[in-house]
Every structure is written in structure tokens, then in C-alpha cells.
Amino acid sequence: MTLKRVVVTGLGALTPIGNNIQEYWEGLINGVSGAAPITYYDTEKHKTKFACEVKNFNVEDYMDRKEARRLDKFAQYAIAASDEAIKDAGITDDNVQKNRVGVIWGAGIGGLETFQDEVIYYTKCDGTPKFNPFFIPKMIADIAPAHISMRNGYMGPNYTTVSACASSANALIDAFNYIRLGMCDVIISGGSEAAITIAGMGGFNALHALSTRNESPETASRPFDAMRDGFVLGEGAGALVLEEYEHAKARGAKIYCEIGGGGMSSDAYHLTAPHPEGIGVIAVMENTLRDAGMKPEDIDHINTHGTSTPLGDVAELKAISHVFGDHAKTININSTKSMTGHLLGAAGAIEAIASILAMQHGIVPPTINHSVVDEKIDPSLNLTLNKAQKREINVAMSNTFGFGGHNACVLFKKVAE
């Protein structure tokens, strides 16, 4: 069968450096750090006292207070980002068939704050099970796309992909496949996460995964820098409207870009650590190029997973050098996690958006906070350090990897008529 072409017609973002697409983009190109001391709870006894929180979010801008109480923050964030993306795409009841519109969302954890708070409350009771009737529907990871579909009446495929930090990239790939196979006209895709909680921070600290640079939070996320000491936890959501090309043209939609391909792989190596030689990362990028029918030299820009961990950054750059050879030296490589922190299951979505906006504006956002060269990293690679760089981008790649060895990669390209 002939596969359909898939384009992106709407974007929405709620991030630690901006609560909509315009603010997010301005934060990216200006090298703004979203890291600051945590405001959600008392951090006195915690190893890490900072994170990349969403700022000035008012849930009542999106729903009434009664409805908000029935949603965990990760689902509230999903509503905020998807509302913006749907409006941006110009989708109305009159220009889509709702049974041909789906919602495929990513979340690595889901309603962690809800789970935490319910358990804390129970421990303070006399042993009688007392739980909020909305405990389970607030917590489960699949509830975010459910709310998006109910809010808009979309009756196509509706589910959540869960693959740790690769979750929303997996969601985009699934959405891409459903549309190119002709099973849907439009899919709202992306991801959300809200894990900056006592349990979330405590759990990642127990794994020794988080930076403890408490004296300078804004410089703590420093991918590729020799002094990096772990990632900075972030939160928020990113939403993309994926649409079949002819359907988008027929309704006169604005088109940001085309999705060229997607790839997945597994390290099959370790619970939390990447394979030191990046074999799973090599496989996922090669799978993506093969799916897109492209050669390594076609790639202009790679938004790396780049979490600012000692092992992960080196393994990913080794893999890029392996796959792209000498051409790797000509690619603008960056890590926007240096600004947003690591949004876990939502990372793939907001980084896909960053890649698309970089292509649209011809500007690659910087990898901020770099000051000390890591001798384990090839110095000939252009890591877009500290300042944005102007660059014509025809094809961009976005990498995301998760605990358990889950790897996902999505490729975006300018639309050719």
C-alpha cells in the first residue's frame, strides 16, 4: 500500500521556561534556565533542593476549580498544551470527522503526586482505608488523553504510551504510523509529566541520578560539560497536531513540517545505565534514517537526549559519531534540557517542538552552562555551546531514551510540494 504523508499543523507547550509556544521559543533561543529552588514543598532534608518547575500556571485559565480537583497536575498540563495545539492547528467541529481524530499521549509516570498524597493521608488515618474516589482515575497514566478526547469529542484511537523518558516520542511515532496507514486523519500527540514531588525527587536522588548543585541551580543542567553531575528534573507538557497531508491541505491548514520517519530500539543492557558504546542509540538512529529513506549526510540538526549525566552524554555522542561519520562534524547538535531540565515522559514532545521551531526559524537553540571541556567528548563536534546559532535546517532529528533501555527517535523535514 502507498503510505500517507504526515505533517505537523499545530503546536502547544507548557514548560519551565515558557507557558506557551512563543514564550518557550524565546526562552530557548535566549538560553534561559528554568531551574530554581523548589517551591512545592519543604526541601530542607532533601539532597537536591531545586528543579525546573512550571511557573505562574493557573489551572483555572483552562477549567473550573471543581474539574481541576479531579485531575492530577500531569493531566492539567496535558489539557493546557493540547488546547493551545488544537487552536493553533485551526481544528474545529466543522473541518474534521471526530471519529477520525485520535489522541495518543506519552507519560512515563502519570499521577505521582496524587499517589503520594493519598498514601501520606492514609498513614495518618487509624488504619481504615480512606481514599479519594478520584484517586485511581487521577493517577493512571492513560487518563490524560482520555480527558483531551472527552473535552473535544475525539473518538479515534486513544491511549498512553509508557516507555520512561521515551514515552512521548513513542507516542509521536505511533500517531505517525496510524495516520500514514490511513487509519486516522488527525491525532493529537505529545506528553506530560508532573513528578517534582517529595517521592519523585527522593526516588531519583536514591538512584544518584539528580544533580546536587544546590548552590547554583541555574547552572546545574550542563550537558556535555566535564563538571556535570546528574540531570535536573523538569515538568510540563508538549502537544503536536499530526495530520494527513492531503487532509491538511484541503482545509487550508498551516503546515510546520513533515514527519519523515521514526525509529525505536532497546539497549537490552541495564536497568538505568546506557550501553557504554551506545549500541541501542546507534540502532535507533539507523532505524530512523532507514524509515525516512534518508542518508546520514541529509541531517542538519540533532536535538540530543543530552540529560547532563556522566555516562549518558558520552554514549550518545559516540553513537552520533558512529552513525554519521565525518558528517557528524557538520551537524548542529544541542541539548535543550540544559534549559528545561528533564521532563521525563514529556521530554520527547517538547524537544520535538524545539526541533521543529529551530527548522522553521533557522536558529538552533544553545546548549547552555558549558564551561569545562570533557576529554571523553570529540572536540570536533558542534554542540552549539552557550549561544544560539543561525543555520538553515532542512532535516532535524530528535533523540529520546528511557530507563530500561527504551530508545526512540523522530525525524522532521521541511515540506516539499
Contacts of residue 57, defined as CB under 8 A and 6 or more positions apart, other chains included, come to 14, 19, 76, 77, 80
Cα-based distances in Å from 264 to 72, 223, 226, 273, 393: 29, 23, 29, 18, 23
Q: Is residue 365 part of a domain?
A: yes
Check: pTM over 0.75? Answer yes or no.
yes
Query: What number is the average pLDDT over the span 77-82?
Result: 98
Q: Is residue 226 part of a domain?
A: yes
Contacts of residue 287, defined as CB under 8 A and 6 or more positions apart, other chains included, come to 263, 264, 265, 409
Please say if the pLDDT value at position 188 is more than 90. yes
Q: Is residue 165 part of a domain?
A: yes
Q: Is residue 1 part of a domain?
A: no
Please say if the pLDDT value at position 239 is more than 80. yes
- Asked if 52 and 192 sit in the same domain, the reply is yes
- pLDDT at position 128 is 87
- pLDDT at position 147 is 98
CB 179 within 8 Å of CB 242: yes
Please say if the pLDDT value at position 198 is more than 90. yes
Please say if the pLDDT value at position 417 is more than 80. no
- pLDDT at position 416 is 85
Q: Is residue 256 part of a domain?
A: no
Cα-based distances in Å from 256 to 51, 179, 395: 31, 17, 12
- pLDDT at position 126 is 83
Query: What number is the average pLDDT over the span 328-357?
Result: 98
CB 257 within 8 Å of CB 361: no
| More confident call, 416 vs 236 | 236
List, for residues 361-398, the tens digit of each pLDDT value.
999 999 999 999 999 999 999 999 999 999 999 999 99
- Asked if 75 and 201 sit in the same domain, the reply is yes
Active site residues: 165
- pLDDT at position 276 is 85
Range of the domain at 306: 261-413
Report residue 315 as a C-alpha cell.
Answer: 554514549
Confidence of residue 166 (pLDDT cuts 50, 70, 90): very high
- Asked if 267 and 374 sit in the same domain, the reply is yes
CATH code of the domain covering residue 221 = 3.40.47.10
Q: For residue 239, what are the β-bridge partners?
A: 12, 190
Report residue 391 as a C-alpha cell.
Answer: 543555520
**CA pair distance 68, 58, nearest whole angstrom:** 10
Please say if the pLDDT value at position 26 is more than 90. yes
- Asked if 200 and 110 sit in the same domain, the reply is yes
Q: Give me the chain's average pLDDT, please.
A: 97
List, for residues 246-288, the tens digit of each pLDDT value.
999 999 999 999 999 999 999 999 998 888 889 999 999 999 9
- Asked if 193 and 128 sit in the same domain, the reply is yes
- pLDDT at position 202 is 97
- Asked if 165 and 58 sit in the same domain, the reply is yes
- Asked if 233 and 299 sit in the same domain, the reply is no
- Asked if 227 and 298 sit in the same domain, the reply is no
Domain count, the chain: 2
- pLDDT at position 127 is 82
- Asked if 53 and 106 sit in the same domain, the reply is yes
- Asked if 144 and 34 sit in the same domain, the reply is yes
- pLDDT at position 1 is 78
- pLDDT at position 32 is 98
Q: Is residue 2 part of a domain?
A: no
- Asked if 229 and 96 sit in the same domain, the reply is yes
- Asked if 178 and 34 sit in the same domain, the reply is yes
- pLDDT at position 289 is 98
